[in-house]
Structure 1
Amino acid sequence: MEKTYNPELIEQKYRDLWETGDLFSSKTNSSSENAFSIVLPPPNVTGSLHMGHAFQHTIMDVFTRYNRSKGNQTLWQPGTDHAGIATQMVVERQLGLENISRHDLGRDKFTEKVWEWKSQSGGTITSQMRRLGASVDWERERFTMDESLSKAVKKVFIDLYNEGLIYRGKRLVNWDPVLLTAVSDLEVISKEENGFLWHIKYQVADSEEILIVATTRPETMLGDSAVAVHPEDERYQHLVGKFINLPLSERKIPIIADDYVDMEFGTGCVKITPAHDFNDYEIGQRHKLEIINVLTDNASINLNAPTKYQGLDRFEARKAIVNDLEKQKLIEKIDPHTLMVPRGDRTNSIIEPYMTDQWFVKVKPLAEPAIDAVKNGSIRFVPENWEKTYFNWMENIEDWCISRQIWWGHRIPAWYDKQGNYYVADSIEEAQEQAGENVELTQDEDVLDTWFSSALWPFSTLGWPEATPEMSRFYPTSVLVTGFDIIFFWVARMIMFGLKFANDVPFKDIYITGLIKDGNGQKMSKSKGNVLDPIDLIDGISLEALLEKRTQGMMQPKLAEKIQKQTKKEFPDGIPSFGTDAIRFTFTALASFGRDIKFDLKRVEGYRNFCNKLWNASRFVLMNLDSKSINFDAELSSQDKWILSRLQKVKTEVEKHLADYRLDLMSQTLYEFVWHDYCDWYLEISKPLLENEKTKQGCEATLLKVLSETLVLLHPIIPFITEEIFEQSQKLQSNSTGKLISQPFPEPNKDLLNTEAEAEIDWLKEFILGIRKIRGEMNISPGKPLPCFVKSYSSKDQSYIDNNKAMLFALAKLDTVDLLSQDEEEPESAIALVGEMKILIPLAGLIDKGAERDRLNKEIEKLSKLKSQFAAKLNNEKFINGAPEAVVNNEKDKLASTENALKDLNQQLVKISKL
């Protein structure tokens, strides 16, 4: 083995070997009775790997590699989503650089350009997945616009339409006035922004009475259909059923009573604009109000409004309307107001509720069996609490708008005649048959919502609607790994469509992961300048390159300056190269059931250190095993039996944690075993064992057996380094072949469990740690041989001492170990306890008590000053109230650590004084 662990060389080597060797293929173990399958949530074809992807992909890869090594026929199904709006925008921007619009090209030519872009630039995220070691079956990679998947999409649409579950109608939708399309709730980001609340006077018809109505969007009053009050509001009960004069208009609108109105908010009077507000639309439906749309598709005022406002942009119209209201003295007051503003995630434009003709899925008949599937246990949420979120949405589900007014995507399979009648069919020929020979038809211009095709992903990727061998073998899939933010938009829809069309649930378990946040618990975003790129963590990145990356495209100089300052403070030397395995170990260690997951680079550094330790430990083992025919039948010492017993328990724990989806506990178990049991203890113990001819062969066999099985246990988490060490270890095992990725997962062997050996080595560890503690407290050199006396010992203690004298001399650096009877006088000693047994280290000639007291007093003085500084900071209200929570907690940790250190030093001073 190379002396130094070099992740870059190892990772490149095994990425190529695994893939060219077809080791990720789902065809492997085809004779196995058991199958495991998992679908990759298809990332956008325009995207690149972000921290959320890397986190979830690591989790999926752990389960995939584990099941493959368990002998299950395993499929991790990869693929990408065509991402209708995002992809169209990318290509339109490219065309814009040449002063060409999609309309200049026409639909067919533009679509050709998108496919061209996809073939050249659409594979960024899949190449990055390879960097992360994702062991997906690349031969089965799919794209939501593939011909076979498009066929499935068309069939689902037509079948749902024929059953009356898809219909076309005029409804209120989220409308992006820049993209000129309906968008899903997921594509709308509501941000808290500062605005105003205009209090407008509405005069009751044929009366001097005035109602004050407050609004944050005065331009929508042109489409008002009513003013609503609460039915129990005594102030207005006498007005219900009467009319008011709509300001700036010649219309009269009714005063209605509805429970929706909050009597305590504002004046208790609410303007109702059914065409421009989702809640108002529901009220309008209840009271059969007129629906008056006053906006065009680009959010200008249309012909339904008074002439003077027609053609104005919505915000220009707002100014003109407010100005006219002020002239007519119809504004009571204007208050500053904080409100949630819905913006399009692609354009940042304010989204309008807009009344248009769209295609909808009637969802409630599909939702009922999907709800039952979770209630009856056919599908399990992990953690279980996410069931409530799922039920809450599914039980109050609204019809789903599935049409989008863009060109890239699955085109609606419907054709129109000149009278507006439409014919849903698989082809224009079939539509023509429905319409009649001489009827001129044109296809619907809209495409389907991207979520419609991705809802079919678990079975369309397996060849449905054909009855393929893959469909019968791998459907339903075993588990879905995804985030809580798309339970509604994707998870629920896959369940509904899976049950409807594949006649079974799409997956048995749904593992909902938390959201990766920065070390301060803040959501990662470009505007905050706290985004981390997983590839940068793998390769490392200089400060200059990181600054350029984080401020690229920043239009606001002040924001760019703030991000630069923050980055320089956090990463003065840039980000070092950690390698893929360290990142993966960090992700699995963080995979708890929490909603938010703080990602701290110190954790990555810690797992990089773990990889180094594993490398160096493996190198030590392989360098010390000079025999190519290890004798696995050799007699074992109690130390060998101890580590083998511990290993069996670790195997059991690892399998339990995997079954429970607790990768954090699995990681912790393996970390503790490798770092402490194997490296810190057994490797040290092995040195005297290897020097003794009686124990050498047993130790050699144990070293190699534990290393080999530990590599298999670790492989799903850190595949690259384990594969390289395994390859090196093969040179010592002539009968062993193949790659680590193909090795069977080690089963616990109950015959190797040995409570007696574990008790003995626990005793030995406690003895050695007691000696080391004395050395530390008394400032005695670690290498100085010490005399040792033992008193108050049992017969078991005596037998342990006899069995482990060589270990005590080697690991505790003892010169002698002598037993004292209860009657013998104890020398002036430092004392440690192992159970009731006393360990005595005579201090005569070992330390200068006066010098040691001086040293301890200096340390105490230094730490006392630090304690005062930390306490003063934490007593400062300005600091407590102004600093981020994470910074305050860090200072509290420093204070607690200092107080603990002071306590230890004072205890040592007391001990010295008593000697």
Structure 2
Amino acid sequence: MPEPSVAAATAADALPKTYDPAGTEARWQRIWEESGAFHADPEAPGEPFCLVIPPPNVTGSLHMGHGFETSLIDTLVRFHRLRGRNVLCLPGTDHASIAVQTILEKQLRAEGSDKRDLGRDAFLERAWQWKRESGGRIVSQLRRLGYSVDWSRERFTMDEGLSRAVSEAFVRLHEQGLIYRGEYLVNWCPASGSAVSDLEVEMKEVDGHLWHFRYPLSGAEDGAADGQPTHLEVATTRPETMLGDVAVAVNPADERYRHLVGRTLVLPLVGREIPVIADDHVEAGFGTGCVKVTPAHDPNDYAIGQRHGLPQITVMRKNGTMNHHAGRFEGLDRFEARRAVVEALEAEGLLVKVEPHRHCVPYSDRGKVPVEPLLSTQWFVRTEPLAARCREALERQQPRFVPERWRKVYLDWLTDIRDWCISRQLWWGHRIPAWFVISATDGRVCDDTPFVVARSEAEARAIASERHGPDVVLEQDEDVLDTWFSSGLWPFSTLGWPDAGSADLQRWYPTTTLVTGFDIIFFWVARMTMMAAAMDPGGAGEPWIPFRDVAIHGLVRDEQNRKMSKSAGNGIDPLLLVDRYGADALRFALVREVAGAGQDVRLDYDRASGASATVESARNFANKLWNATRFALMNLGGETPASLGRPDPAHLTLADRWILSRLARVNAGTAERFAAYGLGEAAKGLYEFAWNEVCDWYLELSKRRLNPAAELRGEAAQRAATDQRTARQVLALVLEQLLLMLHPLMPHLTEELWHGLSGAADDRLLALQRWPEPDAAAMDAGLEARFAELIAAIRVVRNLRALAGLKPSQPAPVLFITGRPELADVLMRAEVDIALLTRAPSVQVMDPAVARARPASRALAGVSGELQVVLPLEGLVDLAALSSRLEKDLARAEKEIAQLSGRLANPKFVDRAPEAVVADCRASLAEAETQAQLARERLSGLS
């Protein structure tokens, strides 16, 4: 073995003096990828663990929500890999039809062009180019975060294989009678020119108006003299749609209007006669009790129209302008038409009043404009049969939601469910695999077989030719599928479905865990379970629910607790913080901030300086680990954990036994937390153990033994050598296991430090090691409790020294007084360590009876639990000055006590002030009384 000085110099070279996150992270990302460290093999041993990442949309770059989700997922994945599972973490991206097409059309408008000018093929080529650029940028960002995914299996929702899965799913759903085509009222987004699902609609509360209009009764002028009503008054927030009214509805039990049911009204501005009908949907006590019915422009009115067999009159085009049914208002934008209609009604004396009205308006989540309910022929999925199967599975806890409260949200969506409109009037996306059959004689769609659903055009042609002859003409549907249709297949299409022989599908389906946000439980989670219910990807009789667990996470919020978003202008590019602090610091900061599974995370960020105190704290933790490992390397005599071996229990000191007990307990607890998705709790626990117990206490306690006095000879030198080796063995063991446990959270840093500690070559990776088994025999709860008391005692000594104004190097004796034999034993066995850590020339431990018999001396005293700590100060400090300072502290505390007591004695304050303010006042009083008592006791000790 080399001489200690040479070994220390060699070890110091293994790690630079300062930690460079950028260089370290880039190096290990390259090594991991080049070595294929995370390539998954279906033939490899180990229980399968599969997680397919939620695919980011190829709409630009990642945001902090992606950084948070990536940190959570990769922590789980790396932990289970260390536990010996056969892990597949599969990456990919989503084509995001509406979002990407909106971006591209905005670009074209800026260029003075339009998608129609380009044509479909050229537009799609531009979209693919955008995907290559945006998708590549996103993948690069994910790599920067240290994602331990199998990049060889990277998927895109419009890859050839996944597109084949989409066609197969569509055909199967159609064959099962679960896909149909029909005219229904849909949410139409004029901005994107497409239908959007209910879930792509965001309800926004806005300040608007409620307009009251008179609808004249037909022939009312004949009965006016008899006191009969001449009109009905209706109120609406959307006057422009009244041009498509087909009835006015009242409640059948409303005595005011019962006699008018069956009469007709003259629709203002149009002149069309419309009936007065009775329907239970109308609330007699709301407004005037009369409701205009416009089935083609309102979902509730549509339902009323279906019940009463009313016609449907659409008065608006899909671009948001009024059509020919709007008469003189044709061509106006819907909001221009609103103003024009109100003005026209006012001119005819039919406007009763206008009231301010705050109400909810549905907005397109993508187009950012109010949606328009419009009648449209679309493709739909019958969801109830699929939802029923999902509800049955949920009764068997399939899937299991973490936290469990999100199970009800998922169930609620599945319970009150509408059919899913899956067609979108876009070009970018999976084109619907349906072909219209065109008559060769008149060029019209055949009535008897209007369309053919098939996996390919060749298959569609074969089916159509068999029915209509070889000269049949086919035209594929222009529309594309809702993005969530392909995303709903993600857990199994990425594994090779519909190829039942796929080794990946057989090995890793159903997947183990889905990590996702609560905001897409129905958008995505329910869509995936319903698609799996229809497809049975695992085969007949096999589990079909696509994931065992659904781990729901919260949102990333800013320092003011606002949700981060581009629209709010408070979003943060995660790479800005990665560049400043490192990926590991950002990852650790985000995970550590999680208060509990599913909770939101608050992340501070100074937009002027680009600094984040939260992430900086995590970077400081990384530096602490770096320095601790460098300290170890310079004190291990050139050896490694493997060459040093395990320590002999007979040679362990009290501090050794304590830290090994803590190590075993933290190991077991961390593994339990990781396995139960308690990632935030695991991060906090490891931080406390590493910083406070290992670095602040054990390293300090081991320094004396790691560097014995050179002048020792004989038996003393031999004992010191044994102590030194034992300290080295314990230190190496603790650090090695600590780095393994921290690896899922801080992979780059721990990989670098582990290689420095172990001396392993680059082809031997920490990421592929095994989680250490906790040493149950080392756990000693009683010792841990007593050692915690020892640490508390040393803290009290240090506090008393600071209060006395002693210089750090100035010696002062310490006296401990306790009647507990086990505590006294620990203190006496640790006398040498206490003396070194507190600069005490002498450390005495006494029974209270013995202490009382001693002559009194002037001292400061403190209490820690059942232990009294005394710091004699005779001849060490200016006692008069110290007494004066304590008297000032006492006076300040007594003044505060008087003020607070006076407030609490005032009944008006106690009765009228907010409960929290009163509670805070009482807490402040209790603290002031404690401080006053401490000052009195310390003054007494000095007198």
- Fold conserved between structures, TM > 0.5: yes
For 1:573-612, list aligned pairs within 5 A: 577-591=580-594, 592-600=596-604, 601-612=612-623
Instruction: Report what 2:572 is aligned to.
Output: 532
For 2:602, give the aligned amino acid: K
> SS of the residue aligned with 1:256?
strand
Which deviates the most, 89-98 or 161-170? 89-98
Amino acid at match of 1:844: E
- Distance between the aligned counterparts of 2:590 and 2:59, measured in 1? 24
Q: Quick one: distance in 2 between partners of 1:60 and 1:119?
A: 25
1:277 maps to 298
SS at match of 1:410: coil
Q: Which residue of 2 aligns with 1:287?
A: 308
1:47 aligns with 2:60: yes
Corresponding residue of 2:324 = 303
1:389 maps to 409
The 8 Å contact of residues 896 and 928 in structure 2, kept in 1 or not, is answered as no
Contact preservation (8 Å) 2:786, 2:823: no
Residue identity opposite 2:575 in structure 1:
I
CA–CA separation in structure 2 for the residues paired with 1:57 and 1:162: 38
Cα gap change, 1:77 to 1:896, in 2 (>3 Å): farther
**What is the CA-CA distance between 1:177 and the residue it aligns to?**
1.3
Does the aligned pair in 1 maintain the 2:828–2:845 contact within 8 Å? no
Query: What residue identity is the alignment partner of 1:441?
Result: L
**Pair 1:202–1:638, CA change in 2 (3 A):** same
> Identity rate of aligned residues, in percent?
45
Other-structure match for 1:765: 791
In 2, the alpha carbon distance for the partners of 1:346 and 1:749 equals: 55
Match in the other structure for 2:170: 157
Whole-angstrom distance in 2 between the partners of 1:402 and 1:863: 70
The CA deviation at 1:120 is: 3.5
Q: Supply the distance in 2 between the matched residues of 1:267 and 1:11 (Cα, whole angstroms).
A: 68
Q: Of 682, 685, 698, which residue of structure 2 is paired with 1:669? A: 685
Q: Which has the larger radius of gyration?
A: 2
Determine the structure 1 residue equivalent to 2:271: 250
Deviates more, 1:444-453 or 1:413-422: 413-422
CA shift in 2, pair 1:794/1:309, >3 Å: closer
Give the drift of 1:237: 2.5
Q: Which amino acid aligns with 1:275?
A: A
Q: Give the Cα–Cα distance (whole angstroms) in 2 for the partners of residues 8 and 724 of structure 1.
A: 12
**How far apart, in 2, do the equivalents of 1:22 and 1:312 lie?**
61
Q: Partner of 1:882 in structure 2?
A: none
Structure 1 440/747 Cα, relative in aligned 2: closer, same or farther at 3 Å? same
How far off is 1:44 after superposition? 0.7
Moved more, 351-360 or 29-38: 29-38
Q: Does 1:57 align with 2:60?
A: no
**For the aligned residues, what is the CA RMSD?**
2.9
How far is 1:767 from its partner? 2.6
Which residue identity does 1:839 align to in structure 2? V
Deviation, structure 1 residue 596: 3.6
Counterpart in the other structure of 2:456 = 427
Distance 1:588 1:656 in 2: 16
1:133 to 2:136 alignment: no
Query: Is residue 2:452 matched to residue 1:449?
Result: no
User: Is the CA contact (8 Å cut-off) linking 1:202 and 1:213 kept in structure 2?
Assistant: yes
Structure 1, residues 725-776: CA drift from partner, whole Å, max 9, x if none?
1111023x89x98111111111212122234543442342233123123223
Report if the CA contact (8 A) 2:378-2:423 is conserved. yes
Q: Judging changes above 3 Å, is the alpha-carbon distance between structure 1 residues 696 and 862 closer, same or farther for their aligned structure 2 residues?
A: same
- 8 Å contact 2:215–2:267 — kept in the other structure? yes
Give the structure 1 partner of residue 24 of structure 2. 10
Contact 2:510–2:548 at 8 Å: present in 1 too? yes
| Aligned equivalent of 1:340 | 360
> 1: CA distance between counterparts of 2:491 and 2:776?
39
Quick one: higher RCO (CA 8 Å, sep 6+), 1 or 2? 2
**Distance in 1, Cα, partners of 2:132 & 2:377:** 34
Summarize the Cα distance change of 1:500–1:213 in structure 2 as closer, same or farther, 3 Å threshold. same
Instruction: Render the CA deviation track for 1:150-196: whole Å, top value 9, x for unaligned.
Output: 11100111111122110100011111112211123343333222221
**Shift of residue 894, structure 1, vs aligned partner:** 11
Provide the rounded CA distance (Å) in 2 between the counterparts of 1:8 and 1:892. 51
CA contact (8 A) 1:860 1:902 kept: no
Pair 284,814 (structure 1): closer, same or farther in 2 beyond 3 Å: same
One-letter amino acid of the counterpart of residue 609, structure 1? N
Cα 1:794/1:162, change in 2 over 3 Å: closer
Residues 1:799 and 1:870: Cα distance change in structure 2 (over 3 Å): closer
Which letter does structure 2 place at the counterpart of 1:278?
Answer: P
Q: Secondary structure of 2:581's partner?
A: coil
Q: How is 1:615-654 mapped onto 2 (pairs within 5 angstroms)?
A: 615-628=626-639, 629-634=643-648, 635-654=651-670
Q: CA deviation at 1:792?
A: 4.5
Comparing 775-784 with 221-230, greater Cα deviation is found at 775-784
Please say if residues 889 and 935 of structure 2, whose CA atoms lie closer than 8 Å, have aligned partners that are also in contact: no
Residue 123 of structure 1 aligns to a residue whose secondary structure is helix
1:381, CA displacement in angstroms? Answer: 0.9
Q: Secondary structure at the match of 1:333?
A: strand
Match of 1:657 among 653, 668, 673: 673
Partner of 2:39: 25
Measured after TM superposition, the shift of residue 140 of structure 1 is 0.3
Paired AA for residue 730 in structure 1:
S
Deviations 1:356-415 (A, max 9, x none): 110000111111111111111121111111111111111111000000111111111111
1:881 maps to none
Q: Distance in 1 between matches of 2:816 and 2:638?
A: 40
Per the TM alignment, residue 833 of structure 1 is displaced from its structure 2 partner at its CA by 4.2
Which residue in the other structure is 1:570 paired with? none
Q: Distance in 2 between matches of 1:192 and 1:869?
A: 47
Cα distance in 2 between the residues matched to 1:422 and 1:757 = 78
CA contact (8 A) 1:793 1:838 kept: no
Aligned to 1:624, what secondary structure does the other structure show? Answer: coil
User: Which residue of structure 1 lines up, in the alignment, with residue 4 of structure 2?
Assistant: none
Who is 1:508 aligned against? 548
1:705 aligns with 2:704: no
Q: 1:499 aligns with which of 533, 543, 547?
A: 533
The corresponding residue for 1:553 is: none
**Superposition pairs for residues 48-447 of structure 1, below 5 Å?**
48-207=61-220, 208=224, 209=229, 210-305=231-326, 307-416=327-436, 417=438, 418-420=444-446, 421-435=450-464, 436=468, 437-447=470-480
Please give the alpha-carbon distance, in whole angstroms, between the structure 2 residues aligned to 1:248 and 1:2. Answer: 83
Structure 2 contact 61–137 (Cα < 8 Å) conserved? yes
Question: Hey, what does 1:547 align to over in structure 2?
Answer: none
The residue identity in structure 2 corresponding to 1:612 is N
User: Relative to 1, partners in 2 of residues 1:837 and 1:323: Cα closer, same or farther, differing over 3 Å?
Assistant: closer
C-alpha separation between the residues in 1 aligned to 2:458 and 2:757?
66
Q: Which amino acid aligns with 1:382?
A: V
Which moves more between the two structures, 608-617 or 778-787? Answer: 778-787
Residue type of the alignment partner of 1:599? L
1:788-826 per-residue CA deviation (whole Å, 9 max, x = no partner) reads 334444543453344212111111221112355625225
User: In the comparison of the two structures, how many residue pairs are matched?
Assistant: 858
CA distance 1:836–1:636, change in 2 (3 Å): same
- Return closer, same or farther for 1:122/1:850 CA change in 2, 3 Å cut-off: same
**How far apart in 2 are the matches of 1:861 and 1:95?**
75
Partner of residue 870, structure 2: 840
Answering whether residue 561 of structure 2 is matched by residue 521 of structure 1, we say yes
SS in 1 for 2:426: coil
Q: Find the residue that maps to 2:644 and give its secondary structure.
A: coil
Task: Quickly say closer, same or farther: Cα 1:747–1:199, change in 2 above 3 A.
Answer: same
Aligned counterpart in structure 1 of residue 695 of structure 2, from 679, 695, 711: 679
- TM-score, reference length from structure 1: 0.89
User: 1:189 and 1:862 mapped to 2: Cα distance?
Assistant: 57
The match for 1:827 among 852, 856, 868 is: 856
Query: Partner amino acid for 2:779?
Result: L
My pick for the range that moved more, 607-616 or 128-137, is 607-616
Q: C-alpha deviations, 1:210-255, integer Å up to 9, x for none?
A: 2211111101001112222223333222223332222112222222
How far did residue 901 of structure 1 move? 7.7
Asked if the contact 2:93/2:135 (under 8 Å) is kept, the reply is no
In structure 2, distance between residues paired with 1:198 and 1:330: 11
The reply on whether 1:472 has 2:469 as its aligned counterpart is no
SS at match of 1:353: strand
**Mean Cα displacement is larger for which, 35-44 or 692-701?**
692-701
Partner of 1:614: 625
Q: In the alignment, is the contact (CA less than 8 A) between 2:890 and 2:936 conserved in 1? A: no
Q: Distance in 2 between matches of 1:586 and 1:515?
A: 14
Residues 845-856 of structure 1 mapped to structure 2, 5 A cutoff: 845-856=875-886
